[in-house]
Chain A
Amino acid sequence: MVERSEEVKLLGMWASPFSRRVEIALTLKGVPYEFSEQDITNKSPLLLQSNPVHKMIPVLLHNGKPISESLVILEYIDDTWQNNPILPQDPYDRAIARFWARFLDEQVYVTAMKVVGKVGEEKDAAVEATRDLLKLLEKELVGKDFLGGESLGFVDIVATLVAFWLMRTEEVVGVKVVPVEMFPEIHRWVKNLLDVDVIKKCIPPEDEHLDYIRARMESLKLKSV
């Protein structure tokens, strides 16, 4: 039960996978929170004050105390609200979950960004590299409904960046980075995710999201010319 005095505020951005993953976690646990949409091109005093080191979203404010970095926030949420656990209970399984989360953020995300940001040969190389990394995720999904096993877990929440950002960008980027013939398990997993109420509630609405991605890609192209 959440006490009246508990105040949970999320400084986030509607189109950011890092912000949305925090919303998924809070919603999964039934934690009421105030969402404060941030303009990252014109950062608010609250954001700058709450995350002076990185000046980035998401930032979770719990009773006024700030927590930054999405993976740190997810673990904090799991530590604080213990219903519907996100991380597994067993220490070894937790280590594996943390490993894949880092892999997704440090390897998959970084490489996938190059697909969007580069052109020509460099873009092709980025597509290949992203696919090589995703093959590892594909393997992990064999025989499982979710990366977390039978139900949605920590790695699934982090991996939404693949399901609803990387895979959505394909339309805009014009390259099928994650074709179903190469990644049948991943496609099956995305369908499983879309059956989960919390996911449906928390991912950005598709049309607006695609418009946003298109606009961002245009501005990236203009910058690289």
Chain B
Amino acid sequence: MVTGDVKLIGSWASVFVMRARIALNLKSISYEFLQETYGTKSELLLKSNPVHKKIPVLIHDDKPVCESNIIVQYIDEAWSSYGLSILPSQPYDRAIARFWAAYVDDKWFIALRSILTARGEEEKKAAIAEVEERTDHLEKAFIECSNGKPFFNGDHIGYLDIALGSFLGWWKVVELDANHILLDETKTPSLFQWAERFCNDPDVKPLMPETTKLAEFARKLFPKPQA
């Protein structure tokens, strides 16, 4: 089977890039990884994603695909005969997976990030409370979607696992920054256990950034205001 020429423009630290890489791993697609340098944007990136100028960008036979969740769906559809399905097979299950993936990006991630950008204790506490509330929704989503199986997608990782699981490196970093547990074994036990399984998945493990390295990068990206 010929996969064509596949390139991915990205960065080791990006959650959104990781989504694309996990999907490519799931389908055993070899690709050239073009690491962007932090602080600059390459010519190829600007040309391939002129609208948003953001990573990741998948370039398949010179045709660019942008937006991480769109890239993951593209990978599933373009290489549908390779490996396992990333999206569930039933329309209703697909809708639920898409709904929660959108929730992760539009609500949950925004709350998580606001912990890092919070100014002062009050703002931080409010942000933490919001993350806890939204993580609680995701716990319920997991129970609903997994139906007793190990992953949101069932027996193996899929679209929603990838959408949320790619955050696990940053999730830990934000916990450290907030000095507050954000993935609690007692409050959200299903998610907690799922997280461990997800990180140990062979298609995920080599991509998950090391916490110390990521924390150091986070300090660059989210500098603390001078006291």
| Residues of A bordering B, CB below 8 Å | 53, 62, 65, 67-69, 71-73, 75-76, 79-80, 91-92, 94-95, 98-99, 102-103, 136
Question: A94 contacts B92, CB within 8 Å?
Answer: no
Minimum C-beta distance from A182 to chain B (A): 19
CB-defined contacts of A71 to chain B, threshold 8 Å: 98, 102
The closest CB in chain B to the CB of A106 belongs to B106
Instruction: Please indicate the chain A residues that have their CB under 8 angstroms from the CB of B63 in the complex.
Output: 92
Q: A53-B103, A72-B98 are in contact. Are A65 and B92 (CB under 8 A)?
A: yes
How many A-B pairs fall under 8 Å by CB?
Answer: 57
Closest residue on chain B to residue A75 by CB atoms: B98
- B74-A92 in contact (CB<8A): yes
The reply to whether B99 and A67 contact each other, CB–CB distance below 8 Å, is: yes
Residues on B with beta carbons closer than 8 Å to the beta carbon of A80: 91
B99 cross-chain contacts in A, Cβ below 8 A? 67-69, 72
Q: Mark B59-95, 1 if CB is under 8 A from A, else 0.
A: 0100101110011011001100000000000011011
What are 25 A-B contacts with C-beta separation under 8 Å? A53-B103, A67-B96, A69-B102, A72-B99, A75-B98, A76-B91, A76-B94, A79-B91, A79-B95, A91-B74, A91-B77, A92-B74, A92-B78, A94-B73, A94-B77, A95-B73, A95-B74, A98-B67, A98-B70, A99-B65, A99-B66, A99-B70, A102-B67, A102-B70, A103-B51
- Determine the chain A residues whose CB is within 8 A of the CB of B102 once the complex forms: 69, 71-72
- Closest Cβ of chain B to A211, distance in Å, is 32
What's the least CB distance linking A131 to chain B, in Å? 15
Q: How far is the CA of A72 from the CA of B69 in the complex (A)?
A: 13
- When distances are taken between beta carbons in the complex, the residues of chain A under 8 Å from B73 are 94-95, 98
Q: Which residue of A lies closest to B79 (CB)?
A: A91
Assembled-state Cα–Cα distance A65/B93 (Å): 11
Minimal beta-carbon separation of B48 from chain A (angstroms): 12
